[in-house]
Amino acid sequence: MRNALSLVVGVVSLSLFAACGDASSSTGIQRRPNPNLAGGVDDGLPSDGENTPDPGNPNANTPPPAPTNPGTAAGEMAVTVSSATPVVDLGEQVEITVTVEPKAAFKGDADLTISGLPAGATGTFTPAKVTLNTTPVTAKLLIKVPVTAAPTAGAASPVVISAKSGTITATANVNFKANPKLKLTIPLNIDALRTTGTLFLDQWGPAFGANPTALQTQATNGIVVTVYNADSKAHIVHGNAGFAHGSTTAGQEIQPNAFEMTNGAPRTRTFLPGASVNGYPHEGAAGASAGFRFSVVAAP
């Protein structure tokens, strides 16, 4: 069995430090000198690997191959899908249309099921039972991949979608991919959140709050993180040595409703076992600041 990793993600309101300093010891994160402040003013120089190329993870962007076998039809019905190669990032979802076609004037009810999804991913049909009466009928399949789900290690996870009516079963094969990719979102109105004094906040995402849940991936399947700014003003993300600092060049901040960019593409940071990260928006005066914190370790 392959080793797994746990990516533990938390959001912390970091108080009593200047805009680009790390949290005090009261937060459980070690304080360290601020390389981007000179007399309390941002010196504008790169820090913490700002210009260091990210190794990435090709598996985070590689689509799954098409199934070699589309599935098995019965004499009474057949199943087809709108996508046989769906891909979902951690924390995201995809909707697929499932069509059940009666054969030989077959009539009756058919129950829909799905098997083979990666650990933690779920599939829900609407409706879960269809009634066949000479013409094809459709249902919607919603596949969710929470941030706690295990991303796909290889090319694909073979998934089977089945329609069963009594002893009659028809199937459609799907190659599904849960990408080892995670979007870290700067929340709307983060400046207001920075003054709340709350130690942990959940506005960064469902598993980023006071009781963060471990995310899992395989030992060589690094989690690729991008940063999206959902706020109405531009921001720069500051991190410790494990999280490369955002660009401090004027005009290269993370723009509102956009990803952090580099060389015309969303910037990535890839995390392997041993990573221990904390960060927060770089700009602003001394005082409370809503931030994030996570670590990557090899699970037993």
Please state, in angstroms and rounded to a whole number, the distance separating the CA atoms of residues 18 and 24.
Answer: 11
Using omega within 30 degrees of 0 as the cis cutoff, is the peptide bond preceding 127 cis?
yes
Considering the domain architecture, whether residues 200 and 282 belong to the same structural domain is answered as yes
pLDDT of residue 208: 67
pLDDT of residue 201: 66
Considering the domain boundaries, does residue 71 fall inside one? no
**Weakly modelled stretches of the chain, pLDDT under 50:** 1-48, 285-287, 299-300
Domain interval for residue 167 = 77-178
For residues 112 and 105, is the Cβ–Cβ distance under 8 A?
Answer: no
Q: What is the pLDDT of residues 100-152, one digit of tens each?
A: 999 999 999 999 999 999 988 999 999 999 999 989 999 999 999 988 788 99
Considering the domain architecture, whether residues 272 and 201 belong to the same structural domain is answered as yes
Please list, in sequence order, all residues whose beta carbon lies within 8 angstroms of the beta carbon of residue 283, skipping any fewer than 6 positions away. 19, 42, 235, 236
Considering the domain architecture, whether residues 114 and 172 belong to the same structural domain is answered as yes
Considering the domain architecture, whether residues 173 and 189 belong to the same structural domain is answered as no
Considering the domain boundaries, does residue 70 fall inside one? no
For residues 20 and 42, is the Cβ–Cβ distance under 8 A?
Answer: yes
Considering the domain architecture, whether residues 56 and 120 belong to the same structural domain is answered as no
Considering the domain boundaries, does residue 197 fall inside one? yes
Helix, strand, or coil here: 221?
coil
Return the structure tokens found at 89.
């990032």
Considering the domain architecture, whether residues 277 and 131 belong to the same structural domain is answered as no
Considering the domain boundaries, does residue 271 fall inside one? yes
Q: What is the pLDDT of residues 225-247, one digit of tens each?
A: 999 999 999 999 887 667 888 88
pLDDT of residue 77: 97
Please list, in sequence order, all residues whose beta carbon lies within 8 angstroms of the beta carbon of residue 251, skipping any fewer than 6 positions away. none
Considering the domain boundaries, does residue 69 fall inside one? no
Domain boundary among 161, 178, 195: 178
Number of domains, the chain: 2
